[in-house]
């Protein structure tokens, strides 16, 4: 899994920052980072992606994505969790580097066309860029190894009782991705709420390096429950490095685009869909201890 060619689509975002950091420190081969609206607006998520990569000393191209959802615009962002700057006010220097000329969908297309190997797309925000790629370049889908998604919840939501934030922000895009012909592996709140790191352990590690200090400080403003922090966006990264710590099941999952429950995931047992063949692979369990050990080992 480590040598796969990876594109990370992200809306940094505090937990996106941690995910990008552990992705780089785990040795993943990240060819491109693309940005999407979500936690904060697209301008800010794009600046943040550049800031994070410069802070980490990584020369990875960044391509700017789309500023809004395909159809549904709930009019909310994640700034109440991630701060108005998207990084919880952490004083990460503003970037000197610029985005590439192509927009996200075109940068992904160019990468795929130039690559002999298949490309893995990792989505840590709304799925709008990925859905647009699927619709605009259907003839290139066989060059996508897998789409690995942080999003959705078969259980309770976090943006409301039914929906998780990323699928809520663009339910139509999520439905396009889930129903595509590509291998899609989904990490919903069902497991990401158990992808935890202890704030005490972050505190103990904070003086080890610039990265461990940043991780402690940037997470100080993040939602904490019982001294634990949910590292939602690091779950897909952990899967690419240590797939064995997750249990994953093939399921038929529909994404509600109904305005009464936008972004809610539906997967019935005794419904008319029960004879539907599975459309996604869905993570149903995680070894939280091994997840935390891996995360902390890569936040130094």
Give which of Ca ion, ligand RIB, none residue 165 binds (C-beta under 5 to 8 Å, depending on kind).
Answer: ligand RIB
Nearer to ligand RIB, 122 or 202 (CB): 122
Q: How far is the CB of 264 from Ca ion (least distance, A)?
A: 18
Task: Supply the minimum distance, in Å, between the C-beta of residue 100 and Ca ion.
Answer: 21
Per the annotation, the verdict on 82 as an active-site residue is: no
Indicate the residue among 119 and 124 with the shorter CB distance to Ca ion.
124
The site for Ca ion (CB under 5 A) is made up of: 11, 13, 16, 124-125, 233
For ligand RIB, give the closer residue by CB, 52 or 112: 52
Among 81, 291, 286, smallest CA distance to 198 is for 291
| One residue of 46, 48, 120, 158 binding ligand RIB per CB under 6 A | 158
- 77 binds ligand RIB, rule: CB under 6 A: no
User: C-beta of 110: minimal distance to Ca ion in Å?
Assistant: 24
> Residue 146 touches which of Ca ion, ligand RIB, none (CB < 5 to 8 A by kind)?
none
Among 39, 45, 120, 298, binds ligand RIB (CB under 6 A): 39
**For ligand RIB, which residue of 65, 78, 88, 95 counts as binding (CB under 6 A)?**
78
Instruction: Kindly name the residue from 80, 139, 232, 242 that is annotated as catalytic.
Output: 232
CA atoms within 13 A on the CB side of 128: 26
Handedness of CA 141, 58, 100, 82 (dihedral sign): positive
CB of 293 to ligand RIB, least distance (A): 22
Q: Which is nearer to ligand RIB, 165 or 252 (CB)?
A: 165
- Residue among 37, 133, 165, 178 that touches ligand RIB (CB under 6 A): 165
Report if residue 262 touches ligand RIB, rule: CB under 6 A. Answer: no
Q: Which stretch binds ligand RIB (CB under 6 A): 92-100, 157-165, 241-249, 288-296?
A: 157-165
* Separation CA 121–CA 32 (nearest Å): 10
Q: Is 166 in the site for ligand RIB (CB under 6 A)?
A: yes
If one asks whether residue 125 binds ligand RIB (CB under 6 A), the answer comes out as yes
3 state SS for the chain: CCCCEEEEEECCCHHHHHHHHHHHHCCCEEEEEEECCCCCCHHHHHHHHHHHHHHCCCCCCEEECCCCCCCCCCCCCCHHHHCCCCCCCCCCCCCCCCCCCCCHHHHHHHHHHHCCCCEEEEECCCCHHHHHHHHHCHHHHHHEEEEEEECCCCCCCCCCCCECHHHHHCHHHHHHHHCCCCCEEEECHHHHCCCEEEHHHHHHHCCCCHHHHHHHHHCCCCCEECCEEECCCHHHHHHHHCHHHEEEEEECCEECCCCCCCCEEECCCCCHHHHCCCCEEEEEEECHHHHHHHHHHCCC
- Which residues are catalytic, by number? 232
* Residues at the contact surface with ligand RIB, assessed by CB under 6 A: 11, 13, 15-16, 38-39, 78, 124-125, 150, 158, 164-166, 232-233
């Amino acid at each position: 899994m480590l040598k796969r060619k990876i594109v990370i689509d992200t809306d940094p975002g505090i937990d996106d920052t941690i995910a990008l950091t552990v992705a780089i420190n785990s040795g993943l081969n990240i060819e491109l980072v693309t940005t999407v609206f979500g936690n904060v607006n697209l301008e800010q998520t794009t600046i943040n992606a550049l800031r994070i990569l410069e802070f980490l000393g990584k020369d990875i191209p960044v391509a700017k994505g789309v500023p809004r959802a395909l159809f549904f615009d709930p009019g909310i962002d994640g700034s109440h969790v991630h701060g108005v700057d998207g990084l919880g006010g952490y004083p990460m220097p503003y970037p000197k580097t610029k985005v590439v000329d192509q927009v996200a969908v075109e940068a992904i297309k160019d990468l795929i066309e130039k690559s002999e190997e298949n490309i893995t797309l990792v989505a840590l925000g709304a799925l709008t860029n990925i859905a647009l790629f699927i619709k605009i370049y259907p003839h290139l889908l066989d060059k996508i190894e897998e789409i690995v998604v942080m999003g959705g919840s078969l259980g309770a939501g976090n943006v409301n009782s039914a929906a998780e934030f990323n699928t809520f922000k663009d339910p139509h895009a999520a439905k396009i991705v889930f129903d595509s012909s590509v291998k899609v592996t989904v990490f919903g709140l069902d497991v990401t709420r158990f992808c935890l790191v202890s704030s005490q352990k972050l505190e103990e590690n904070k003086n080890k390096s610039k990265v461990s200090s940043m991780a402690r400080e940037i997470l100080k403003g993040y939602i904490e429950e019982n001294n634990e922090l949910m590292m939602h966006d690091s779950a897909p990264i952990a899967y690419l490095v240590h797939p064995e710590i997750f249990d994953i099941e093939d399921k038929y999952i529909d994404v509600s685009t109904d305005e009464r429950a936008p972004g809610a995931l539906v997967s019935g047992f005794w419904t008319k869909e029960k004879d539907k063949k599975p459309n996604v692979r869905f993570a149903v369990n995680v070894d939280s201890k091994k997840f935390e050990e891996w995360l902390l080992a890569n936040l130094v």
